Amino acid sequence: MDKHAEHDGNADETIEEINKKTGRNMPQAIATAVVLIAIIIACLAISMDVFMVLLVVFMILALWELRVDFAIAGMHIPVVMLWICSTVTLLATYYSPWHVSTMALCIMLSIVLVALSATANFSFGDRLSMEVERKLAQTNAGARLESSFNHGSATIQHSRLTSVAVSVFAVLYIPLIASFIALSLTFHGHAFAHAIMIVFLPALSDTGGLFAGAWFGKHKLSPRISPKKSVEGLLGSILFAMAGAFAIFACTYPSLWASRWWVPIVVGILMGIVGTFGDLCASMLKRDIGIKDMGHLLKGHGGVMDRVDSILLTAPFMMALLYVTGL
């Protein structure tokens, strides 16, 4: 019994040390990641239509998290109009025969409609206020004091023009960039491979950066914005993404391997650098608002936005690379 107790104690200490280094609950994070991977693979295996529905669902959840986060800072975005415009934009981009033109038109209309809706601050029950109170209760005082908007328990009230500005930002940040994921499924006949690369390679890159940073990280990348980011973590992100890209290319493009062997190298570098930049941008936004995580929906990961920030930012670059290289 004593040996078992000692072994359990050592295991708990090891897990606690790993959690401290990574800044998250790793058992929860791994379990959540496995479930997410299973859901995404299942949707892709069924059909691209089901995958598009999943993409819309994730976008709706991300917009709700952004709504709550901006509300903490006293800013309003019209989430219902954003849901409608974003859903139409994403589906129209994928199903229209004129993909790029349709995306551009939908985004322009979305900006106009969302900006007009932002001038009217509608309230739909107590759900938002309850979420804001719960989020504030989970936010430590230090983060609140570092915020540009919140000081102690007081929240700065903003003009309608500010609401319009952050609403337009929400359109450009989520539906516009997410539309590039839909675009990547429409050319060269490799929709499954494109989806795998755009969705899973950023996650693989994040995993490489997480472990490399936890075990080898000594040189801080940007201590003020994200203290846990390191140069070693960035290199780990690049290597993991590169390895994943080589594996996907070997399975998907065997006939193009001789002439496109350099593409996985570019993909790895692109994923590592742009994905890390996306994480830093999200960290800067969270620090400015005064919160730790964008949401709480994914156990061990925070919110949906905490997981998709690097996917969103890398999507336009990956789509362009895949299109230009003919893959």
Q: What is the pLDDT of residues 219-271, one digit of tens each?
A: 777 666 666 777 888 888 899 999 999 998 888 887 777 788 899 999 999 99
Structure-token match 């000692």, residue found: 6
Rounded-to-integer distance, Cα 95 and Cα 98, Å: 9
pTM given for the model: 0.82
In the predicted model, what is the mean pLDDT of residues 13-38?
66
Least confident of 2-6, 13-17, 116-120, 261-265: 2-6
Of residues 7 and 307, the one with the higher pLDDT is 307
Q: Are 85 and 170 in contact (CB under 8 A)?
A: no
Distance CA 314, CA 177 (A): 9
pLDDT, tens only, 25-34: 666 767 777 8
Contacts of 49 (CB under 8 A, 6+ apart): none
What ranges do the domains of the chain cover? 18-324
pLDDT digits (tens, 9 = 90+) for 195-226: 999 999 988 888 888 777 777 767 777 666 66
- Quick: pLDDT tens for 268-320: 999 989 988 877 777 777 777 777 666 666 655 567 777 788 889 899 999 99
Q: How far, in Å, are 7, 87, 112 from residue 91 at the CA level? A: 53, 6, 19
More confident of the two residues 189 and 300: 189
Q: Say how many Å lie between the first and final Cα of the chain, rounded.
A: 59
Q: Letter for the amino acid at 238?
A: I
Which residues make Cβ contacts (< 8 Å) with residue 133, sequence separation at least 6? none
